[in-house]
Amino acid sequence: MPAHTTILNRTILERLGLRSPVIQAPMAGGGDTATLVAAVNEAGGFGFVGAAYLTPAQIAERARDIRSRTALPFGVNLFAPQPDPAPSPLLDEALARVAPFFAELGLPAPIAPAHAGDPFAGQWPAVLDSGAAAFSVTFGLPPADTVQAAKARGIRVMGTATTVAEAVALEQAGVDAVIAQGSEAGGHRGSFLGDPAANLIGTMALVPQVVDAVRVPVIASGGIMDGRGIAAALALGAVAVQLGTVFLTCDEAGASEAHKQAILAAGEDQIRLTHAFSGRPARGILNRFMESVEDPDKPGAVLPFPLQNALTRPLRTAAAQQGRAEFLSLWAGQGVRLARRRPAAEVVAELLEGTGSAIRRLAGG
């Protein structure tokens, strides 16, 4: 992007360890492969690994893989520690609701999911030793000792907010930047205060209110797919943007082919919020599984996070192998129509070029 695009705050970007305003979102579940992160970095963006579902050994391995592909800095993201889910009185109903789909895919009947305890404490040392330049959390505040330990090693700490109150809480917890996640965003809502399915503030409304409420830099996230969206986010006061969906259809992304094809074929009016896959609200493309599990005529058959996630995992794994998009969690944001099948380097180049030209257009140049 040309230097005269003065809306960019180079000093703050540098302080955050970013070479441009483009951040590739962490995408737990396999979308953010080492190849994707490295390609984004080499093209001028900043890649993140969503490590929430990885074991400590897998985190170390992924970080090694990234470091072998790029010398440029990358980030690692975790889900903040969550309370243990309460035993659910809905267990039998939840099992019964998904059982026909297990049978349809030729799987054994679903069994009651076990909760192995919150993984954060086990994952954290691997994150600290991963060589990451940034650490971000979603679903809550980063624990105080992790903020201190990260900062002592020069690792930037970021947290996800979906409301002004969450942004203020993150600032008080010591983060270096707040990621303001609008309701357009693909994947899980990062909310941790109040009802995450009720606090649905769009990026356009959320970002300037967060910018006014905190002193730390704000990163806009949700529904941003091209340079026009980035220029808009910068105009709202964000210093950078975090994009997920636009990177999911990249050649290097680890999303299943069925997921990529579903994104490329979807329209914005097919994108819904659902608890059906994990027990936490997340945004994705409406499919048969979502419609049947959250049937409004038969409510209340979803276990709390992460039990529902564990319950549906075998189904999602088999569905990905069999190319059955109707049973996949097809996470995608509302900007879905702007997704293209491309190498990540092209996406980053176009995002940076598109931001520059949008800003020049607005400046009348």
Ligand X SMILES: Cc1cc2nc3c(=O)[nH]c(=O)nc-3n(C[C@H](O)[C@H](O)[C@H](O)COP(=O)(O)O)c2cc1C
For position 245 contacting ligand X by CB under 6 A, the verdict is yes
Q: Does residue 224 bind ligand X (CB under 6 A)?
A: yes
Q: Is 52 in the site for ligand X (CB under 6 A)?
A: yes
Burial class (CB in 10 A: 0-12, 13-18, 19+), 100: exposed
> Which residue among 123, 162, 181, 355 contacts ligand X (CB under 6 A)?
181
Smallest gap from residue 127 Cβ to ligand X (A): 13
CA distance 47 to 32: 8
Distances (CA, A) of 295 to 18, 38, 312: 44, 41, 17
Give the one residue of 166, 171, 184, 252 binding ligand X; rule: CB under 6 A. 184
The only residue of 102, 135, 277, 331 in contact with ligand X, by rule CB under 6 A: 331
Pick one of 24, 35, 130, 242: the residue that binds ligand X (CB under 6 A): 242
Spatial separation of the C-alpha atoms in residues 354 and 347, rounded to whole Å: 10
Report the distance separating Cα 79 and Cα 81, nearest Å.
Answer: 6
Among 26, 113, 196, 304, binds ligand X (CB under 6 A): 26
DSSP 8-state class, residue 282: E
Q: Per CB under 6 A, does 47 bind ligand X?
A: no
Q: Choose among 140, 163, 36: nearest CA to 78.
A: 140
User: Which residue's CB is nearer to ligand X, number 5 or number 162?
Assistant: 162
- Does 177 bind ligand X (CB under 6 A)? Our answer is no
- How many residues touch ligand X (CB under 6 A)? 29
Q: Which of 264, 224, 251, 244 is nearest to 342 (CA)?
A: 251
Nearer to ligand X, 333 or 356 (CB): 333
| Burial of residue 85 (number of CB atoms within 10 Å: 0-12, 13-18, 19+) | middle
Q: Which residues bind ligand X (CB under 6 A)?
A: 25-29, 31, 50, 52, 77, 138, 160, 181, 184-187, 190, 221-224, 242-245, 248, 331, 333, 335
